[in-house]
Amino acid sequence: MSRQVVRSSKFRHVFGQPAKADQCYEDVRVSQTTWDSGFCAVNPKFVALICEASGGGAFLVLPLGKTGRVDKNVPMVCGHTAPVLDIAWCPHNDNVIASGSEDCTVMVWEIPDGGLTLPLREPVVTLEGHTKRVGIVVWHPTAQNVLLSAGCDNVILVWDVGTGAAVLTLGSDVHPDTIYSVDWSRDGALICTSCRDKRVRIIEPRKGTVVAEKDRPHEGTRPVRAVFVSDGKILTTGFSRMSERQVALWDTKHLEEPLSLQELDTSSGVLLPFFDPDTNIVYLCGKGDSSIRYFEITSEAPFLHYLSMFSSKESQRGMGYMPKRGLEVNKCEIARFYKLHERRCEPIAMTVPRKSDLFQEDLYPPTAGPDAALTAEEWLGGRDAGPLLLSLKDGYVPPKSRELRVNRGLDTGRRKTAPEASGTPSSDAVARLEEEMKKLQATVQELQQRLERLEETVQAK
């Protein structure tokens, strides 16, 4: 008589805990755009949501602790002239966010500590190069200032944000149709893309070469998503020929057959995968679903293990995923999602139940920190490096706003040039001050003219 042995895993009993009403963000008008992005981006300082906006594209940025009802007149980031489709926080500067829009531009913004007090209309950098709407923006995980964007012109551009120039281009000869998803490898050496031509490609962006590709990883016609996971594998989500949703795990060196292929259900929403390299857990959040499934990836067959599912009553319009350094380690929180409802954003904490209040080292190995491992020039020159890791044992406190340089890029305050370090303002700073002085002088002259006209009116009466 055989007895089934249950696989041992410390994540078997991970459970989701939605935040209480006073910890949610209420009365936000989430975008109605039919685009398959998360519509939400979070980091240890801010939560950003793509919102409905009249007369252009806008998104809302709130300090993480500013929960409760959101004032309808709250200032927003509103520089785009058409709806915003995707947003992404810079992993090396928690005050910097990029946005892609239907107006064919990518804009990079600086958010002050404490949030916005006035509408933000002027980006730090506007990146122009796409000829159709930009639906994907992804920062390089380890190189400073490197941003990737993908547009509906079937082109991928890699930008050096410091100079505002497109340094790499993957044209329509690589992707002949709409690009559904793009993901960087952990060290940023490769990208993984899924395309409407039903192919998943592994690409070396600096050489512009396709390292490997898989035709029809899923038989269905609906969009496929692909992300890198551990040990040179990729995970894809898609649909079967019978429109059943599937998740599959692939070895990038042998793409003929999947290591694991599982059918989930017959819902029509695209599954957005979020992978945690520290725990090897992948979370699947379907647009229009009311659930989050999670799987553990191991190095031995059957490789992909279903763990559990978090369910709620209301469906999700989008989803944001908090970096590991923004979690509460004293509560054994291993992931946190920001679920978008029609008028609300609800944090959901994923927790491993533990009796001890001590730091759980097995749950929190050193994780990616906020410092870049490479400069943009080093990465473009051919160097690769994994993320610089930090320990969460003593908790993580977000640093104050890092220095933002328009011409030299988004850099940490530690890398200062000689003139700035000695206290002498740079020529760029002097030019900006002179321009501001001219604007102030013009304002003063206008006020003087108004005062004179008022005096004349009073004397006439």
Confidence of residue 403 (pLDDT cuts 50, 70, 90): low
Query: Tens of pLDDT along 158-213?
Result: 999 999 999 999 999 999 999 999 999 999 999 999 999 999 999 999 999 999 99
Is pLDDT of 1 > 70? no
Give the per-residue pLDDT at 357. 76
Give the per-residue pLDDT at 444. 72
The alpha carbon of residue 400 and the mean position of all alpha carbons in its chain are separated, in whole angstroms, by: 20
CB atoms within 10 A of CB 326: 17
CB atoms within 10 A of CB 110: 19
Confidence of residue 235 (pLDDT cuts 50, 70, 90): very high
Residue 94 exposed, middle or buried by CB count within 10 Å (0-12, 13-18, 19+): buried
Q: Is the distance from CB of 90 to CB of 398 less than 8 angstroms?
A: no
Give the per-residue pLDDT at 432. 62
Is pLDDT of 433 > 90? no
Give the per-residue pLDDT at 358. 81
Q: What is the pTM of this model?
A: 0.85
For the ranges 52-56, 87-91, 211-215, 259-263, the lowest mean pLDDT is seen at 52-56
Q: What domains lie within the chain, and their CATH numbers?
A: 18-173+354-380 (2.130.10.10), 174-316 (2.130.10.10)
Higher pLDDT, residue 27 or 451: 27
Reported residue count of the chain is 461
Confidence of residue 441 (pLDDT cuts 50, 70, 90): confident
Phi and psi at 429, nearest 5°, equal: -65, -40
CA-based radius of gyration for the chain: 24
Give the per-residue pLDDT at 326. 94
